[in-house]
Amino acid sequence: MNINLEKINGYNVLFIKEERIDAHNSGELKEYILHMIEQGEVNLVVQLEKVRFIDSSGLGALLSGYKNAAAKSGKLALACCKQQVLSMFEITRLNRVFEIYADLDEAFDNQI
């Protein structure tokens, strides 16, 4: 899983540099997020602009991160989802769980 990490406005922004998140790489994404939270980095934005496909295991990895961040009074939000990726969150109603922002500016405006 190719991820670029940048600290912007006090948030850790994870730029996912993969077109596809599936059962082959979602475990790595889950571990990466959990490792950050264990290090005390509990405010995360996952930037999904490059991602054109996500499966149930990818949704599960993000949900795991969301729950673990929330358990430590942090927040994991999503930004820049392509329409078809967003529709996966809608079908599973996970759009009611995650805060999903059109871009990073909107994410920062709403979270900080």
45/59 with CB nearer another protein:
59
Interacting residue with another protein among 41, 49, 60, 111 (CB under 8 A): 60
DSSP assigned state of 52: -
CB of 94 to another protein, least distance (A): 6
* Shortest Å distance, C-beta 26 to another protein: 9
CA dist., res. 56 & res. 104, Å (int) = 24
Q: Minimum distance between the CB of residue 48 and another protein, rounded to whole angstroms?
A: 15
> Helices marked H in the chain — which ranges?
26-38, 56-71, 83-91, 104-111
